[in-house]
Amino acid sequence: MSAGSDAAAVDLSVEIAGVVFPTPVMTASGCAAAGRELAPFLDVAGLGAVVTKSVLLDARSGRPTPRMVETPSGMLNSIGLQGPGIDAFLAHDLPWLVQRGARAVVSIAGGSLGEYAELGRRVGSSPGVAAVEVNISCPNVEERGLVFACDPFQAGRAVGAARRGIPREVPVLAKLSPDVTDIVSVAKSVLEAGATGLSLVNTTLGLALDPHTLRPVLAGVTGGLSGPAIRPVALRCVWQVHAAMPEVPIVGIGGIRTGLDALEFLAAGATAVQVGTVTFHDPSAPERVAHELRAELATRGICSPRDVVGVAHREPG
């Protein structure tokens, strides 16, 4: 394809661990529950995938309010994994996505290895799951010691526990935290434990103070920072992991708002991307970002997102 080609000539499909997605743009977990609330704004079946809010074994009401606050370039949240629990999710939410022809990437989160194992079994035996995202990096837990992704050994154990119940043909994406010294060592550990790809990255731990009271705004004190503020951090994580393991599928996440942002993540080494925080003020953003990415590729005469994965690592010329 030559420079300035027709956008219609671009084939946006990508493959992650043997599963084909029609576009590389997915929703990000936690920003639209199980996807129903996006349906008035976009065609869920046209997205790369809908990544559902991390589900736990039991229903949970989450942390006390206030649990969301805007900061100058991002959003800080401390939801506390509110959700219906795995039974209600499998009975109502997953079938809704499957009936509409959407690809469901189901995010699971546990508080113990046993919970990850049980969630892996339950989700792994449910038809219609395109992939499982194992969230081992939720920042909103009582103790930092419970953030499995902050320790390579614990990260591998949690992903290994979930993986055992999931059929081989279903990709398992481990979602890692940027709040570590060496993300490559965590990535290696979860891949050895059976992850077939990586979601990079989850929110980073932050704090907002009320300017009047000088007390924390969030009832949970700290929260996960997302949005444009973390985009360079996420891009750096994708870059580092791709440089170390160029064959591993990476889904890039962090402050992506435009097709050009998405293209940068592909160039750094991601095969696909997720769009999250921007959906709070532009709920059609995941669809728009895919259209914009198509135009960005066409302008550059590139036929497929597969052709730009990792190009930022190549010597010019």
Which residues of the chain form contacts with ligand DHB (CB under 6 A)?
Answer: 30, 54, 77-81, 135, 138-140, 202-203, 224
- In this structure, which amino acid lies at residue 218? L
Distance (Å, rounded) from C-alpha 286 to C-alpha 273?
Answer: 10
The minimum distance between CB 4 and ligand DHB, in angstroms, equals: 39
Is 237 noted as a catalytic residue in this protein?
no
Q: Torsion angle, CA of 251/252/254/260, rounded to 10 degrees? A: -130
Closer of 203 and 271 to ligand DHB (Cβ): 203
The minimum distance between CB 221 and ligand DHB, in angstroms, equals: 13
Strand bridging mode 68-71 / 204-207: unpaired
Alpha helices for 90-230 (secondary structure H)? 94-99, 113-124, 152-163, 183-192
The minimum distance between CB 30 and ligand DHB, in angstroms, equals: 6
Over 55-123, what HEC string results?
ECCCCECCCCCCCEEEECCEEEECCCCCECCHHHHHHHHHHHHHHCCCCEEEEECCCCHHHHHHHHHHH
The minimum distance between CB 243 and ligand DHB, in angstroms, equals: 25
- In this structure, which amino acid lies at residue 160? G
> In the structure, how many helices (H) and strands (E) does the chain have?
8, 14
Distance (Å, rounded) from C-alpha 240 to C-alpha 243?
Answer: 5
Closer of 24 and 80 to ligand DHB (Cβ): 80
Closer of 140 and 196 to ligand DHB (Cβ): 140
Closer of 81 and 293 to ligand DHB (Cβ): 81
The minimum distance between CB 79 and ligand DHB, in angstroms, equals: 4
Which one of 31, 138, 150, 237 is the catalytic residue? 138
Closer of 78 and 279 to ligand DHB (Cβ): 78
Catalytic annotation, residues:
138
